Amino acid sequence: MKGRTYTIVIPAAKRYGSHWHLGHALNNTLQDILVRMRRMQKYNTLWMPGTDHAGIATQTVVEKRILAEEGKRRTDFTREVFVKRIQAWKDEYEATIIGQLKAMGLFVRTGPDEIYDG
């Protein structure tokens, strides 16, 4: 792309599965205003939501959930099976985050080739 660029990455949520509160809505609304303003000024804009938080924190949450719900530990699974469980959990909450952004009508890039303009 030629021309000026303007990029914002939305920091990942600190707690997966929680719904955003008013502070999140305000922060993302202000970012949305900045991105739309730059678009009107003919900038090449990118506003990308960060949905994947720190791997160790994610692993810990999944381990606690499996222990509470199934009474199993990560060592009860093969590495491949456990990684798939973490990925499935991450995918579920990533969809929640993206859904919340879309419900607010925000202009975000939700994938390499997808732009959602609410």
pLDDT tens, position by position, 30-43: 998 998 899 899 99
pLDDT tens, position by position, 57-111: 888 889 999 999 999 999 999 999 999 998 898 888 878 877 887 888 876 765 5
| Statement: residue 115 has pLDDT above 70 | no
Q: What is the pLDDT of residue 118?
A: 47
pTM: 0.63
Residue 81 gets the label, from left (phi > 0), alpha (psi -120 to 50) or beta, of alpha
| Helix extents (H) in the chain | 22-40, 55-70, 79-103
Contact present, 97 and 110 (Cβ < 8 Å): no
| Statement: residue 17 has pLDDT above 70 | no
Contact present, 66 and 74 (Cβ < 8 Å): yes
